[in-house]
Each structure stands twice: as C-alpha cells, then as structure tokens.
Amino acid sequence: MIRYTPSKATELEAISVQAYVYEDYATVAALNLLQPDTSDMLKLYQTLESINESVSFVRFVYDAKNNVIYSRADIPYVADASFGQMVERCVYLTARVVDEHYNDLTALKQ
C-alpha cells in the first residue's frame, strides 16, 4: 500500500492505493473512495462512464453491495517484462488518476 498526497482532490488528506499480487496478474485498487447518492442511478452510472472514458487503464466502479465507489486496474503477468516495476508504476498512476478525477466523483456524494 502507498499513501499518495493529492494535489487536486482537495477533500482528501491522502489517497491509499493497494496492490494485490497473484501468480498470473496483479490488481491495483483505491478502495472506498466515497459513498454515492443512489437516488439517481442513471446519473451515477453516466458519471462513472464519462470519467472512465477519459482514462486509459484505471476504472472507477460502483460496488452496490457496499455502496462505495472504488478504482481498479488489473495488470496481467508478462514473463519477459519487469512485472514488479509495472505494478509499482500502476500503483502510482492509479493514485494520480484518482487525484485528477476525485472532484468529479464528489458530485455523486451523499
């Protein structure tokens, strides 16, 4: 886990990003970013879709069971590459994407 100090997400003190590394892939996630207002589900999904269209590998996801939005990126294992460096870079980029788009997500806050 890393804690990234945001420069744009003014409501956050830090962005925590975890890496879960398995034998054949890794998942990088910033969990529990915020609890959205679910009274207008169409708005929620349209906002997430709009944000996701503007980023390349990180996805913002709504978890209906826990009523939270989180970010996620999956990294496949590549034998001839430096997998550890790829994961480390993805952790940093995930934190940066969360920082850049968190203010857009706050429009969905309860």
Q: Are 28 and 18 in contact (CB under 8 A)?
A: yes
pLDDT per position as a tens digit, 67-106: 999 999 999 988 766 888 889 999 999 999 999 999 999 9
- Domains of the chain plus CATH, in order, are 2-108 (3.30.1460.10)
Contact 70, 31 (CB under 8 A): yes
Q: Which of 3, 4, 107, 100 is nearest to 52 (CA)?
A: 100
14-63: pLDDT as tens digits: 999 999 999 899 999 999 999 999 999 999 999 999 999 999 889 999 99
* pTM of the predicted structure, to 2 decimals: 0.88
